[in-house]
Structure 1
């Protein structure tokens, strides 16, 4: 009897280890061309972005144009508010085709980003990006110039 229990425990342990090894990250660009009204897609995108562990919730503004998203975060963001706003709005504008406005609420401290302003700042149409690597390169290149980042937020 003890032998059977040991065998079952060993089997369950191996099964547990294998299931843990099978977790793969979802390609965020599978949500390319989503719409602001697709709550599921917006939720998956937000939960795949940095600072997702500080996400409190979000609201979709879909009744009238400009369509937008309001994202609520806990106040403590390690990499800084500006970096979070820049990074997350770049991804959201690239992936969601009809979003024009994103409001970030860090427990009362608010930032607002429009697609037009961000595309003008980058000098690029954000809809043209088709993979994470290209978009990451764009973001990282622009984050290097802190004066330019400050200009975007003033």
Structure 2
């Protein structure tokens, strides 16, 4: 009886544990034309609770993604979120050449557009070569430590 109770409790808790840390690399190798892979990836990135929609630009190259957020209630930096999420998208989605983030702050829309070339030059790393979330997080920690660095990158756009 005790064994059955323990197994029941473990079974009930395991989905909760799995839900705590999403597998952002689940859709690694996806392409811009795969709506569900892009949508599911965006839903796992920082700021997802403010995510309102996206558009895929796939009619002609260069291919891109436009992501929209309602940032009126957000506490985190829109600039850092843009760089962090662009980094993930360029790492996980093979053929995306640019991403644009539109942050509706209530007082206007902050817009940031980054290209794969621009971001890879900033990091001095080919993002497609990163195949583990831990490695990508280490890279992000190294480069997203100063607002001045982020501002400099975003003013190049």
- Same fold by TM-score, threshold 0.5 exceeded? yes
Q: 1:66 is matched with which residue?
A: 62
Q: CA deviation at 1:26?
A: 3.7
| CA–CA separation in structure 2 for the residues paired with 1:123 and 1:56 | 32
Matched residues, number: 141
CA RMSD in angstroms comes to 1.8
1:48 maps to what in 2? 44
Q: Which has the larger radius of gyration?
A: 1
User: Does 2:110 align with 1:113?
Assistant: no
Residue 105 of structure 1, CA deviation:
0.8
3-state secondary structure, aligned to 1:153? helix
2:135 aligns to what? 134
Match of 1:149 in 2: 150
Structure 2 residue aligned with 1:104, among 101, 104, 120? 101
State how far apart, in whole Å, the 2-side matches of 1:45 and 1:104 are.
15
Equivalent residue in structure 1 for 2:87, among 64, 73, 90 = 90
**Gapped runs of 5+ residues in structure 2?**
1-7
| Over 6 Å off, 4+ runs | none
Contiguous gaps of at least 5 residues in structure 1: 1-14
TM-score for both structures, normalised by structure 2: 0.83
